[in-house]
């Protein structure tokens, strides 16, 4: 008869597997967030606003919000959260700029994938498809 000793401590491999499972579950639970963020930025023409500023332009959420037709005083803050999410998926690029008041400001630029979400004579835009699917 064999003696079975149970180890209740997780090994590093078990911890890594558990961490991967949690991350996968979180991605599944929030699977609708990225498409909705893409839709709202498309509807607000955020990619077009950044594109019109120049090919290598980086704009802050406040600068982008100035081009939106809204009276919401929190528009820039709300937009910054959406743009930050898109940055985490490499849809946008982000740079940090230290301002005069020692505050750090995020500035957003277009990542290569954005060319498919802007209007262009040179290529097909996926904007209509994106808006249709949501």
Please report whether residue 124 resides in a domain: yes
21 within a domain of the structure (yes/no) = no
Establish if 119 belongs to a structural domain: yes
Q: What pLDDT is attached to residue 9?
A: 54
Statement: residue 1 has pLDDT above 80: no
Residue 37 lies in a domain: no
- Residues paired with 109 in a beta bridge: 93
pLDDT band of 101, cuts 50, 70, 90: confident
Q: Are 107 and 95 a contacting pair, CB within 8 Å?
A: yes
CB atoms within 10 A of CB 62: 14
The residue among 49 and 16 whose pLDDT is bigger is: 49
Residue 43 covered by a domain: no
**Are 93 and 84 spatial neighbours (Cβ–Cβ below 8 Å)?**
no
Instruction: Tell me the average pLDDT of the chain.
Output: 86
In a domain, 42, yes or no: no
CATH number of the domain at 98, please: 1.10.10.10
Separation CA 102–CA 104 (nearest Å): 7
pLDDT digits (tens, 9 = 90+) for 10-37: 567 888 888 888 888 877 777 788 889 9
Count structural domains, the chain.
1
Sheet holding 104-110: strands in order across? 59-60, 104-110, 92-98
Range of the domain at 94: 49-134
């Amino acid at each position: 008869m064999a003696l079975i000793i149970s180890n209740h401590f997780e090994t590093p491999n078990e911890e890594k597997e558990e961490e991967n499972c949690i991350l996968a579950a979180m991605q599944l639970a929030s699977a609708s967030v990225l498409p909705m963020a893409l839709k709202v930025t498309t509807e607000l023409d955020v990619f077009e606003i950044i594109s019109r500023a120049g090919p290598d332009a980086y704009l802050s959420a406040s600068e982008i919000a100035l081009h939106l037709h809204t009276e919401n005083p929190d528009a820039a803050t709300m937009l910054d959260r959406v743009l930050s999410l898109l940055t985490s998926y490499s849809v946008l690029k982000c740079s940090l700029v230290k301002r005069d008041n020692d505050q750090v400001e995020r500035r957003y630029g277009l990542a290569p994938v954005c060319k498919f979400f802007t209007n262009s004579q040179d290529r097909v835009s996926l904007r209509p498809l994106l808006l249709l699917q949501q």
